[in-house]
Amino acid sequence: MARSRRTPQSTTAAAPGTYEISTGTAELVPDTFLPDAWTLMINGVPSSHVQIGRPDVLEFEYMRWIAAIVEQQTAARFDPATLRVTHLGGAACSLARYFAHLWPQSRHTVVELDAKLAGYVRDWFDIPRAPTVKIRVGEAGEVTRGFYPCSREIIIRDVFSGNRTPLDLTTPEFFRAVHSALTPGGLYVSNCGDYSSLLGSKTELAGMTQVFRHVAVIADPPMLKGRRYGNMILIGSDTELPAEGSREAAQLARVLLGGAVPAQYKDERWTRALIDATPPRTLSDPAPGPDLPPG
């Protein structure tokens, strides 16, 4: 069903325009289909979508995919009343808002590099205050290396510089810092922007297998078949993840297939076959270049 066009009338300090931030520019673009909804552009790249008063709305499909695996795994192994989640990469704090609404007693730390942006989004959007959602200004890798061991159940990485994840957040050294910060059986979920070769996902997953006992993937079928640039959701844990044919995998599949952009969950067997003999990334590796269009 087509959405009817609406003229947004903000109930917060959000206003259309381009704003100077510490790392460049942020632009607020009104959503003409949803009331009081905004897309946040960072240096020209869409980074977040927020509808004021509706923290339960996740407009970006990849965020829905992250929410699907986090919700399923939380129901299986964590207590929402004591859940501690760290979000590496803040922007408009869309996922932190969503989970804080879903689990009001949960606690969220959002790590955001840009101090000016962190201040703006507090003014623009209805983000719960600390201690429910705390925004910590800092570089994600450095902050992660400083976490106390076993201090949080879930870490979500959604960090981009332009359309790439910084190299130091894709290595086994980084994954070891994440693993140390997680409680036993904790969950790591990351958004990997990748090209059709899937080389970025393969190298990250290869590094993750050096640290986590179990890995899995979520993406839409064209991405899984290597047909375009898009999002791959990478999942790591020391607790076994849903296996193909299990009730848990079937339940997750139903959720993922229900969105506007249907996605698929790929279990550990498929994911390890994807990795094959791909070596993990190191800090000395050059940044990957764009793929050739699939032939």
Task: Go through the domains of the chain in sequence order and give each one's CATH number.
Answer: 61-275 (3.40.50.150)
**Which tokens hold the place of 279?**
């070596």
Q: Any idea what DSSP says for residue 287?
A: P
Model confidence pLDDT, tens digit, residues 70-99: 999 999 999 999 999 999 998 999 999 999
At residue 286 the predicted structure's pLDDT band, cuts being 50, 70 and 90, is low
pTM value? 0.93
Dist. CA 221–CA 231, nearest whole Å: 11
* Residue 103 pLDDT: 98
Model confidence pLDDT, tens digit, residues 128-169: 999 999 999 999 999 999 999 999 999 999 998 866 789 999
Q: Which residues contact 188 (CB under 8 A, 6 or more apart)?
A: 154, 155, 157, 175, 178, 179, 182, 208, 212, 235, 236, 237
* Residue 229 pLDDT: 86
Helix (H) or strand (E) holding 235, with range, is strand 230-237
Q: What is the mean pLDDT of the chain?
A: 92
